[in-house]
């Protein structure tokens, strides 16, 4: 690999011979921060409203979810600030390490499950309250690693053996390990993100379509291999109320109760132990019930705005690596949001996908905040680098004037 392929200021990359800073990226970055702040604030209110009854039943405190969500929001804000100040090229340097670490942790979960050290779904690692969902980590590891590979291989990106096969093998390994947790929905989304990055990076469409046609039957077979997934599919395709699952029925009742303007904050009926996971997977139902169609539309518009800002940041990124990372992060967060909303509205079968920044949970909040911080870093990179350049020129000018004196 040539030195110029490395987007690092220490390597003299052409990508860091910066042109005029992009005002569009800077504006998009600031607007993105505002959107995320709104979403987090909405999440705190909705989690408290939707989870108070469940928290009282499970933990004898109606404010249990509220205080924890406030803690997660605070950690997320700190992560956004810290990562936003980093040079995002640090993720180029550690991308291989992150990918290997994610594969190692996913493999460890599989071994622990086979050894019966974990019962049920094997998705979390950690001790006590300090646990995280490994698939969230793996998702970002794939984004960083693929962004690096596509950047390195851009001159021969359409080559089957040296370009496409290594990327496909890596993606299938990660997707397969996540799928056997089992976590079919997240594994499918990671696969979509990987294929989208390869498509945007210039991989031959013929290779992508051939792979998709080959994988689709396997994915369908895996989807119907578990009874609970079959039940979800039957519930979704059922033409009457009797065939729908209890959770789906309660979700639709909640959205219907909201009408145009909602029942008002704290006045949801479905949160009163009718709707399971009303503070997590089905939190959008509480939005629709308490704030109505208008409130639900506002939340949807915020996520559309997030996606648009991410696309603008990707378009004006200083280099190819930043462009692909920004695209991957924007896709990851937006896809999870739109799928969660679609599930709540009974537009697609039920999945276990949380609503970013709004659903209760620390792992998703931390990793989504990491993604936002990276987008901010990319959007401000040119301005930051230009500031360093101007500062260096000023120092040289001062030194020169001293010598002349």
- The model's confidence at residue 183, banded by pLDDT at 50, 70 and 90, is confident
- Tell me if 7 is assigned to some domain: no
In the chain, the number of structural domains is 1
What pLDDT is stored for residue 128 in this prediction? 67
| Residue 388 pLDDT > 70 | no
Mean pLDDT of the chain: 85
What per-residue confidence (pLDDT) applies to 373?
97
Cα-based angle 393, 397, 399 (whole degrees, multiple of 5)? 115
Where does the pLDDT of residue 13 fall: very low under 50, low under 70, confident under 90, or very high at 90 and above?
Answer: very low
Q: Is the model's pLDDT at 16 over the cut of 60?
A: no
Is 233 a domain residue?
Answer: yes
In a domain, 27, yes or no: yes
Contact 274, 7 (CB under 8 A): no
- Cα distances (angstroms) measured from residue 61 to each of 54, 58, 168, 281: 9, 8, 48, 21
Tokens of 170: 């890596």
pLDDT higher than threshold 60 for residue 131:
yes
Residue-level pLDDT at 379: 92
The percentage of residues in the chain with a pLDDT greater than 90, rounded to a whole number, is 53
What are the tens digits of pLDDT across the range 92-111? Answer: 999 999 999 999 999 999 99
pLDDT of residue 382: 61
Q: What is the pLDDT of residue 233?
A: 80
In-domain check, residue 387: no
Report the pLDDT averaged over residues 398-403: 48
Query: Which two structure tokens, joined as six digits, stand for 331?
Result: 């896709």
Instruction: Inform me whether the pLDDT recorded for 314 exceeds 80.
Output: yes
Q: Give me the numbers of helices (H) and strands (E) for the chain, helices first please.
A: 13, 2
Q: Quote the pTM value.
A: 0.87
What's the domain range around 347? 21-382
Is 15 a domain residue? no
Using CA atoms, how far apart are residues 106 and 123, in angstroms rounded to an integer?
A: 8
Q: What is the model's pLDDT at position 169?
A: 95
Residue 392 in domain: no
Which pLDDT score is estimated for 7? 53
DSSP state of 243: G
Spatial separation of the C-alpha atoms in residues 267 and 303, rounded to whole Å: 25
Nearest CA to 247 out of 280, 287, 201 is that of 280
d(CA 291, CA 204): 46
How high is the pLDDT of residue 307?
Answer: 97
Collapse the DSSP code of 355 into the 3-class scheme (helix H, G, I; strand E, B; otherwise coil) and give the result. Answer: coil
Looking at residue 234, its pLDDT comes to: 78
Residue 38 clears pLDDT 80, i.e. is over it:
yes
In a domain? residue 107: yes
Question: What pLDDT does residue 236 have?
Answer: 76
| pLDDT score for 394 | 42
Q: Is residue 210 part of a domain?
A: yes
Residue 141, token pair as written in the block: 């590891």
């Amino acid at each position: 690999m040539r030195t110029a392929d490395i987007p690092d200021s220490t390597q003299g990359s052409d990508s860091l011979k910066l042109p005029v800073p992009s005002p569009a990226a800077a504006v998009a970055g600031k607007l993105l921060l505002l959107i995320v702040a709104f979403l987090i604030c909405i999440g705190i209110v909705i989690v408290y409203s939707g989870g108070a009854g469940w928290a009282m039943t499970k933990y004898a405190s109606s404010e249990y979810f509220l205080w924890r969500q406030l803690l997660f929001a605070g950690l997320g804000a700190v992560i956004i600030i810290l990562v936003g100040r980093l040079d995002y090229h640090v993720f180029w340097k550690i991308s291989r390490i992150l990918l290997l670490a994610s594969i190692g942790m996913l493999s460890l979960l599989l071994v622990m499950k086979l050894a019966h050290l974990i019962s049920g779904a094997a998705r979390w690692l950690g001790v006590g309250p300090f646990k995280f969902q490994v698939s969230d980590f793996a998702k970002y590891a794939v984004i960083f690693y693929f962004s690096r590979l596509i950047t390195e291989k851009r001159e021969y990106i359409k080559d089957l053996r040296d370009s496409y096969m290594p990327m496909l093998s890596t993606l299938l390994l990660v997707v397969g390990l996540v799928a056997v947790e089992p976590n079919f929905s997240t594994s499918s989304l990671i696969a979509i993100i990987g294929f989208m990055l390869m498509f945007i990076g210039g991989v031959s469409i013929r290779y992508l379509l051939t792979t998709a046609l080959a994988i689709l039957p396997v994915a369908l077979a895996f989807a119907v291999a578990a009874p609970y997934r079959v039940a979800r599919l039957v519930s979704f395709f059922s033409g009457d109320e009797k065939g729908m699952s209890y959770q789906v029925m309660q979700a639709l009742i909640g959205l219907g109760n909201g009408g145009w303007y909602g029942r008002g904050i704290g006045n949801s009926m479905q949160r009163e132990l009718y709707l399971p996971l009303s503070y997590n997977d089905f939190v959008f139902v509480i939005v629709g019930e308490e704030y109505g169609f208008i409130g639900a539309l506002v939340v949807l518009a915020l996520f559309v705005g997030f996606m648009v800002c991410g696309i603008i940041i990707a378009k004006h990124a200083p280099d190819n690596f930043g462009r692909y990372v920004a695209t991957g992060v924007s896709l990851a967060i937006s896809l999870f949001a739109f799928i969660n909303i679609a599930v709540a509205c009974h537009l697609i079968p039920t999945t276990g996908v949380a609503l970013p920044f709004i659903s209760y949970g620390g792992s998703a909040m931390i990793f989504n905040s990491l993604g936002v911080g990276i987008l901010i870093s990319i959007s401000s990179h040119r301005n930051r680098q230009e500031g360093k350049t101007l500062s260096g020129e000023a120092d040289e000018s001062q030194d020169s004037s001293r010598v002349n004196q």
